[in-house]
Structure 1
Amino acid sequence: MKKVMINGKNYKLISHYQDDNELRNSFNLLTQQTYNFDFENWYKSGFWKENCILYSLIDNDKMVSHITVSVIDFIVLEEKKRFVQFGTVMTDEQYRKQGLSRVLMEVVLEEWKDKCDMFYLFANDSVLDFYPKFGFVPVDEYQTSTQISEIESPYSVRKMDIDNVSDLNLLYDTAKNAEAQFALSMQNNAGQVMFYCNYFELFSFKDNLFYIQDLNAIAVADCEENTLILYDILVTEKIEIEDVLNALATEQTKSAILKFMPINSANYEVTLFKEEDSTLMVMGDKDELLKNNKLMFPMLSHT
């Protein structure tokens, strides 16, 4: 904890405090007020890991501004990279437009600038003019799609039930030891996978988990009419994406959309992807990596 002065007023800067019940409750309260969810169930589950770091400003005993830092390892085009992602950037309504988020951003950038390969975030439309002040620029993401031929799959698939402890453990263990399958694959971040698959209040992939026993793979997938949507593949060794698509496809499936970029995308149609009210932004000197290779961050890696 240290003191910082902003516009002539002293605030306390705190970080790494998630195990402090009182401070964590204050963080959850601010998150609820700003985004209508909190992280308490995820924390109590034990899946909140040390790579998710909280940075906040306190006025007297009130938490008034915050940034979450997620330190995430990726395999990018078969090279290991460490990226820092910013999330839950927020300021109490009564303290906005006073420079608090700017100070927090400067603190985090200074602390992590020599410890990572890239800073990035997903910005809401309302703050797209804020992050360029720190050198962030918007970058396009791309998704792939393919037609599905009518074939008879040799693979056995079952829907997972992570209210069952054996399936819960299977999901965690598989995510923890997952092998990179995509051109940009998250590594060693099983805690965040668990967050999206069971502990996020706004939406969850809990009902979208399928275990393909013959491949020892977990697919995160959904179906819209006759289109299969594949969000992620969790498996401990390299497999063919086509095998996963064939396993999940039904007689009604005519096409598939992949919410990631395959290592070899030659057999897929590559199209621009734009999520509503969300824009990927990276530090300006790192944007060429994404621009030149038409990459996409898997959905379960977002914060």
Structure 2
Amino acid sequence: MKTFVKDYKKNDQLRQSFADLAKKTFGIDFETWYQNRYWNEHYICYSYALNGDIIANVSINTMNVFVHGNVKKAIQIGTVMTNPAYRNQGLASELLEKVFADYDSTCDFYFLAANDRAISLYEKNGFTSWIETSFVIDVTNYSKRNRALEPVEMTGKEFLKRKRKSIPISNKLAVENDEHVWMFYYLHGFNACLYTTDHNLTIVAEFDQETCHLYGTLSERPFHLEQHLPVILHEGINEVICHFTVDEPLPGLFLAEDTSNNWMVRSVTGASFPKNTRFPKLAQA
């Protein structure tokens, strides 16, 4: 008979079984994240186990979401998975109900990025679609550096320290208690996407031919795109795709609806994400 278990990261057998199922389902590695002590109290698994093996899971990420400076208590749902042998039994819905029972009294809203096949599941559990906005800047006429920035090496300890001291990149939509997610990205390739313009600013970015994908910043000072882009971009870059909400009007900035992440929201208090915003990529679990 299946057994409900939750918050078991210190149970080696259950945690490793969860990690095995996640690797088979999504191809991602949770055990390294745990061993580096980045799995903190804000990431909690709700699971069914059978004979010591995890057969279904719904994970939550407890976060503070700042909407125009006002804090909202939010739960990001992620790592929703079921062993193929136990699918189509309603296990994910049962686990979602257990999450709702624990947090409806203290949470403003839940949100998640759904895959196409799971949209109907979430709709049945009270989620509705939220359409975020893409922020793309045509920087053809911007001033730029002659030479590209060189990536810098940064230990996980230093990266986490700088993250904890950094202020949000956006005032319209920002996230707190997302350090564990940032560190997951750090371990999965973003440690090679760090660039420093001076001792006050490190950017997380990828440069692909004529495009810069800008994911976030590590800075104790406010980040202003129009001021900083000329020292970030090099000649040949003609487009910047911002994976966060851009607050300020900028020359060449284009906004468009974007449904690629299939964001869905289940509101408890009526709170949700504001229009014309983008959830920051580095906080997406």
Q: What TM-score comes out, normalization by structure 2 length?
A: 0.91
Aligned position for 1:279: 262
AA aligned opposite 1:282: V
Aligned position for 2:177: 188
Match of 1:221 among 205, 214, 232: 205
Distance 2:271 2:75 in 1: 17
How far did 1:61 drift? 2.4
Report if the CA contact (8 A) 2:72-2:108 is conserved: yes
Using the TM superposition, name which of 128-137 and 265-274 deviates more.
Answer: 265-274
How far did 1:20 drift? 1.2
Match of 1:55 among 15, 36, 46: 46
Aligned position for 2:79: 88
SS at match of 2:120: coil
Q: What TM-score comes out, normalization by structure 1 length?
A: 0.85
How far did 1:207 drift? 1.8
Aligned position for 1:160: 152
Q: Percent identity?
A: 25
Distance 1:239 1:173 in 2: 18
Structure 2 counterparts to residues 1-303 of structure 1, below 5 A: 10-148=1-139, 149-151=141-143, 158-162=150-154, 165=155, 168-182=156-170, 183-198=172-187, 200=188, 204-213=189-198, 216-265=200-249, 267=251, 268-275=253-260, 278-283=261-266, 289-290=272-273, 293-303=275-285
Q: What do you get for the CA RMSD once the two structures are aligned?
A: 2.3
Structure 1 residues 171, 75: CA separation in 2 closer, same or farther (over 3 Å shift)? same
How far did 1:157 drift? 5.2
SS at match of 2:2: strand
Report if the CA contact (8 A) 1:150-1:251 is conserved: no
Distance 1:225 1:259 in 2: 18
The CA deviation string for residues 4-52 of structure 1, in whole angstroms up to 9 with x for no partner, is xxxxxx4211111101111111111111221122301001111111100
